[in-house]
Amino acid sequence: MAFGTVYGSVKSPRVGMVLSTAALLGLPVENASNTLPGSFPKGLAEKFPIQKIPVFVGADGICLWQSIAIASFFASYDPLGIVGGATALAKAEVLMWACFFNQEFYDAVIPWVAGRMRSIPYDPKTEEKAKKNTFSIFAVLERQVKDKEFLVGEDPTIADAAAVASLYFVLSSVMTKDELAKFPEIQRYYINAYPKLKFDQLCGPLQLLSEPVPIPKAPPSPILTCDEL
Ligand SMILES: N[C@@H](CCC(=O)N[C@@H](CS)C(=O)NCC(=O)O)C(=O)O
């Protein structure tokens, strides 16, 4: 029997983080992937009036939103108590990195991804600034993952679920493998962590872009809105 349902597409990094945490723990979570922010079906909108993704409805009816809270709830089912952090300090570090990807990393990359994916109007100046911010944030991560298999401790945690989901968001959409190669520690970390965080199950085999995504010719799509990211 399903443990519950996560609403939202795995391509959204916050949804990917939550689904990766569930997969890591072997929790039988279903994914309603076509639930879009701001367009929830009526029953779901009544439970979650803010209508951001991800949201979780448990088989017993519990309702949770906010990705880090959902992942932390899933981690409470870890019999070894590792996925959410094994010690008080590890728990704090896991939250620290989960928050970093949820906010600073996302804020840096979103104008680049959204401009190329036709979610916002393409503007070369906006993209140039976003690429610069993305490379700065990658430099922070490059130092953190140096010589490490996982971000906190010796085993995968929510911090790695957030890292791989966020890297997947950028590396499957806008950043090429040549650009990634400028960050060899992140490259090594990502290639190792991708299957360990179950992204091969969630998103298929790891692929890197050879060419940059072309500059969009058409105006923003009415279907692909920024909110969907
Ligand atoms: N702090 C929330 C943020 C959720 C969020 O903003 N999700 C985005 C998609 S990644 C969304 O639904 N955006 C729609 C909006 O901001 O209206 C979380 O971590 O779950």
Q: Which of 194, 222, 40 is CA-nearest to residue 54?
A: 40
Q: How many domains does the chain have?
A: 2
* Angle (deg, nearest 10), helices 88-100 and 67-75: 150
Considering the domain architecture, whether residues 193 and 96 belong to the same structural domain is answered as yes
> Does a structural domain hold residue 83?
no
Distance CA 45, CA 122 (A): 31
Considering the domain architecture, whether residues 70 and 92 belong to the same structural domain is answered as no
CB contact at 8 A, 229 and 12: yes
Q: Which pLDDT score is estimated for 223? A: 44
Considering the domain architecture, whether residues 62 and 124 belong to the same structural domain is answered as no
Residues of the chain under the 70 pLDDT cut: 1, 219-229
Pick from 11, 12, 14 the residue to mutate for probing ligand 1's pocket: most ligand atoms within 8 Å of its CB: 14
> Does a structural domain hold residue 124?
yes
Report pLDDT digits (tens) over 178-195: 999 999 999 999 999 999
Considering the domain architecture, whether residues 172 and 68 belong to the same structural domain is answered as no
Considering the domain architecture, whether residues 58 and 156 belong to the same structural domain is answered as no
> Does a structural domain hold residue 140?
yes
> Does a structural domain hold residue 80?
no
DSSP 82-123: -TT-SSHHHHHHHHHHHHHIIIIIHHHHHHHHHHHTTSS---
> Does a structural domain hold residue 195?
yes
Considering the domain architecture, whether residues 103 and 199 belong to the same structural domain is answered as yes
Ligand 1 atom index nearest CA of 66 = 20
> Does a structural domain hold residue 22?
yes
Considering the domain architecture, whether residues 15 and 112 belong to the same structural domain is answered as no
Considering the domain architecture, whether residues 71 and 116 belong to the same structural domain is answered as no
Pick from 52, 107, 224 the residue to mutate for probing ligand 1's pocket: most ligand atoms within 8 Å of its CB: 52
Considering the domain architecture, whether residues 105 and 182 belong to the same structural domain is answered as yes
End-of-domain residue from the set 53, 75, 97: 75
> Does a structural domain hold residue 66?
yes
CB atoms within 10 A of CB 51: 17
Q: How far is the CA of 55 from the centre of ligand 1 (A)?
A: 10
Q: Which residues line ligand 1 (CB under 6 A)?
A: 12, 14, 37-38, 52-54, 66-68, 102, 227, 229
Considering the domain architecture, whether residues 135 and 62 belong to the same structural domain is answered as no
Q: Which pLDDT score is estimated for 219? A: 67
End-of-domain residue from the set 13, 43, 75: 75
CATH number of the domain where residue 37 is located? 3.40.30.10
Q: Which pLDDT score is estimated for 2? A: 85
CB contact at 8 A, 134 and 170: yes
Pick from 53, 102, 104 the residue to mutate for probing ligand 1's pocket: most ligand atoms within 8 Å of its CB: 53
Considering the domain architecture, whether residues 136 and 45 belong to the same structural domain is answered as no
Q: Which pLDDT score is estimated for 200? A: 98
Q: Which pLDDT score is estimated for 226? A: 44
Considering the domain architecture, whether residues 118 and 197 belong to the same structural domain is answered as yes
Name the residue range of residue 185's domain.
88-203
> Does a structural domain hold residue 228?
no
**Long-range contacts of 169-173, Cβ-Cβ distance < 8 Å, separation of 24 or more:** 169/11, 169/12, 169/13, 169/16, 169/109, 169/113, 169/229, 170/109, 170/112, 170/113, 170/134, 171/208, 171/209, 172/11, 172/203, 172/207, 172/209, 173/113, 173/116, 173/117, 173/213
